[in-house]
Homo-oligomer: A and B are copies of this chain.
Amino acid sequence: MFSEESQDELFSATVTAPVNIAVIKYVFWITPTYRAIYKANRYWGKRDVALNLPANSSFSVSLSQSDLCTRTTASCSRSYSHDELILDDEPCEFLGQADDDADDDSLPPLSSYAVRIETWNNFPTASGLASSASGFAALVRAVANLYGLLPTQQAAAAAPLSRIARLGSGSGMPQPLRRLCTWDGAWARSRTAPTARRKYQLAPASHWPEMRMLVLVSRESKKDVSSTRGMQVTVQTSDMFAYRAANLVPERMRRMEEAVAARDFATFGRLAMKDSNSFHALCLDSEPPIFYMDGSSRAAVTVVGRINEAAGEIIAAYTFDAGPNAVIFYLHRNRHRVAGVFRSLLSEKQGWASERGATIQPSAIDLDHGTVSRLQSGVKRVILTAVGEGPVDIGAAGRREPCGL
């Protein structure tokens, strides 16, 4: 129990985290039984093996925090009445379950020590740029740090925190957050086995210094379907979801790891495009179907295809997360032939006037009118970036580096 004087005490930890882009896509499970399991696990120390729900491994790349990052502050106090998680000014369902528990009088109150998470982005929050993924990554780390700040006897009373903090350790975490704990640097992978959860940093950010990304931020900011709800629908209704997870992803993971290790861009790019298409195919195969890609996404796919045709090899590769924004990978030495083509098509858009943009020369390529028109009308701005590091602890004091928030 808490002593009287701790009533108004506030603990706080702050972390910045990168936007990370999965190139072998993760689809997480939130089954109808998940909620019940989740509730059961809100009790101290109870680690239900049923939490080890199956999922597929994923492979993600961090974008540089000097270009895009999320800053998250986790705080707790007895004066807080309930857990709260705020991402892009929206309450997040995952922690907002006070009502569920209130309905069940047989359960003791869960949150004598409630937690509040607040998240800000240094990029347009409505851009759909993996904001919830980066938000969650920062969340997990910040809460783990926060938990470490608490005096032992208070930590013992802070059941929700201990549960969340375990997420950061990579063991016993509920599946929906699994992707986050695998994030541990610039190139990360995860493997899921029934009895073990492991995370790997396949390579540090410095492993492949030539790698660059061009992000095409779509004009249509608001998603029709949130990625969380979308994944639920996909898992529950796509007839092909389980087939991909069990039969296609393991081989792609193996080949992707080899490609990164060997700095083989053509293989990396081909796999990234293939898995992105495969992920969006599952979304379309859902009931009702989910369309994250729009006309500008299709145009970006066409332009990347033409760039590669013109080059006679794969020098550009796209991936799309749960939204219409294209993330286009290329090597620095091919920047004119890849980013330069987009620059010539999108010269009016914001984002080229950065330090990275200064070295990119526009480059023309033959394209049909419809593709050019869809790209120009659909893209709002561009972001030029590179591979970056994982989450950074900046403490309770709110140090402003590295992401300027």
Known: A240-B240, A370-B220. A291 touches B284 (CB 8 A): no
- Which residues 257-285 of A have a CB within 8 angstroms of B? 270, 273-274, 277-278, 280-282, 284-285
Q: Which of A336-377 contact B (CB under 8 A)?
A: 370
* A148 part of interface (Cβ distance < 8 Å): no
Which residues of chain B have C-beta atoms less than 8 A from A220's C-beta? 370
Give the CA-CA distance A286 to B277 in the complex, in Å: 8
Q: A239-B248, A370-B220 are in contact. Are A291 and B298 (CB under 8 A)?
A: yes
A118 on interface, CB distance cutoff 8 Å:
no
Q: Which residues of B contact A224 (CB under 8 A)?
A: 302
CB distance from A292 to the nearest CB of B (A): 11
Tell me, rounded to whole Å, the shortest Cβ–Cβ distance linking A364 to chain B: 21
Contacts of A192-241 to chain B: CB distance below 8 A: 220, 224, 239-240
B288 touches A278 (CB 8 A): no
**Closest residue to A294 on the B side, CB-wise?**
B295
Q: Which of A273, A277, A287 has the most CB of B within 10 A?
A: A277
A284–B288 CB distance below 8 A: no
Q: Which residues of B contact A244 (CB under 8 A)?
A: 239-240
Q: Which residues of chain B are within 8 angstroms of A240 by Cβ–Cβ distance?
A: 240, 243-244, 248, 278, 281
For the complex, is A301 an interface residue (Cβ under 8 Å from B)? yes
Contact B277 A285 (CB under 8 A): yes
Count of chain copies: 2
Mark contacts of A79-116 with chain B using CB atoms, 8 A cut-off: 1 yes-contact digit, 0 otherwise: 00000000000000000000000000000000000000
Q: Shortest CB–CB separation between residue A329 and chain B, in angstroms?
A: 16
How far does the Cβ of A219 sit from chain B's closest Cβ, in whole Å?
A: 11
User: Within the complex, which residue of B247, B274, B284, B301 is in contact with A281, where a contact is CB–CB below 8 Å?
Assistant: B284
Q: Is A289 part of the binding interface, using a Cβ–Cβ cutoff of 8 Å?
A: yes
A44-86 contacts to B (CB < 8 Å): none
Q: How far is the CA of A283 from the CA of B239 in the complex (A)?
A: 16
**Cβ-based interface call for A305 (8 A):** yes
Residues of B close to A282: CB separation below 8 A: 281
- Find the B residue at minimum CB distance from A270: B287
Which residue from chain B places its CB closest to the CB of A283 in the assembled complex?
A: B281
Q: How far is the CB of A250 from chain B (nearest CB, A)?
A: 12
State how many angstroms separate the Cβ of A313 from the closest Cβ of chain B: 15
Which of chain B's residues has its CB closest to A368's CB?
A: B224
In order of increasing CB-CB distance, the 10 nearest A-B pairs are: A281-B281, A281-B285, A281-B284, A277-B289, A291-B298, A240-B240, A243-B243, A295-B295, A239-B248, A278-B285
Interface CB pairs A-B, < 8 A, 27:
A220-B370, A239-B244, A239-B247, A239-B248, A239-B274, A240-B244, A240-B248, A240-B281, A243-B243, A243-B247, A270-B287, A273-B288, A273-B289, A277-B284, A277-B285, A277-B289, A278-B285, A280-B284, A281-B281, A281-B282, A288-B301, A288-B305, A289-B301, A291-B298, A294-B295, A294-B298, A295-B295
